[in-house]
Structure 1
């Protein structure tokens, strides 16, 4: 089963097909990773901040700049998703703890 590298959504939870993202841009690398359409759009938006002239260059300096930007965009989006999931997990744990305390109080009353 395919899973988004950044948000861990799966084929079952994402109604649209997954997209293969070129890690360093299509012109610079054949290496790809699976991303859901939402995460892919976020990364592509960051990549497209570079003017087309720079994105189309083949010299080593521009290749490195674009590759570093692409990698950093992946890490940024992955970190944001990780923080969102951590917040959700924290809320679930707090709710479980609150429910457990309420159950104990009810049991003591009986």
Structure 2
């Protein structure tokens, strides 16, 4: 009687273990063999391996640059955009409103730069 009472106590656990074992057994029986899967996917596996070898070879052949050459071009462009020429050259005798307003804008820029 003791053993049957203990078995009834673990009835749920035993049924889960049996179901899990049957599921694993049926998967092993029904699933295709490993060589069949390998035979089906060998082109994909081969191309992936060749791609990884090419990446490694190119990485060894061309080391990474410490400083990108395009950084200087970006700095020159930013300097050109951020600092327009102070004085516009117009033909003699011609004056424009932008020329009159430009020294005021330059003074405001210099004041704002000093405050920073």
State the TM-score, normalized to the length of structure 2: 0.25
Structure in which a larger fraction of residues adopt strand: 1
Structure in which a larger fraction of residues adopt helix: 2
Q: Which structure has the bigger radius of gyration? A: 2
